[in-house]
Amino acid sequence: MPASNTIVLKSLSILLGLFFVFVGALKLTPHISKDLYKDLRTEYVKYAKVFPLAALFGLKIPSKWYRRTVGILEIVCGLAMALIPYHRVKNAANVILLILMVLGVYQHWMVSDPFERSGPALVFTFMLGGRLVVWYQTNRRDEEQAAANQAQANGVKQD
């Protein structure tokens, strides 16, 4: 694996992971910022009303549990991305966070939030998607290199 791809992948994983741990903690506790916590509580009341399952099936999701669930998922997935060295776990956490961000963008759009409020969700959606693309390209390149090395080793053994 080229050193630059490794650095990019590790940096994105760690920084995105730490960001989501911080954001998840903001949703769960007022100890970091009381004003932001209070604001998130009122916003999640609106977001719970436009949750896709609520809209499709008429399910009512309590905003308190919705906010807590999203916060816990962000913390757990963020820790997995920042600390766990296995790519399968990192990629699973990445996909879960990507789904949460797409859901966030959708909810911002549904409640007609201004761009200042929905912009970060868009940015982190693209960053999570970009991390998956970098991992895929790096993984594919490694597999091609391994196949070429195997073919070369088989060719040497046959001669």
Look at the chain and count its residues.
159
pTM: 0.86
Tell me how far CA of residue 52 lies from CA of 104, 106, 126, in angstroms.
11, 9, 21
The values of phi and psi at residue 36, to 5°, are -65, -40
Q: What is the pLDDT of residue 148?
A: 86
Percent of residues, the chain, with pLDDT higher than 70? 94
Cβ distance 8 to 134 under 8 Å?
yes
* Average pLDDT rounded to a whole number, residues 9-30: 94
Q: Is the pLDDT of residue 64 over 60?
A: yes
Selected residue with higher pLDDT from 151 and 133: 133
Q: Is the pLDDT of residue 106 over 60?
A: yes
Q: Domain ranges in the chain? A: 3-150
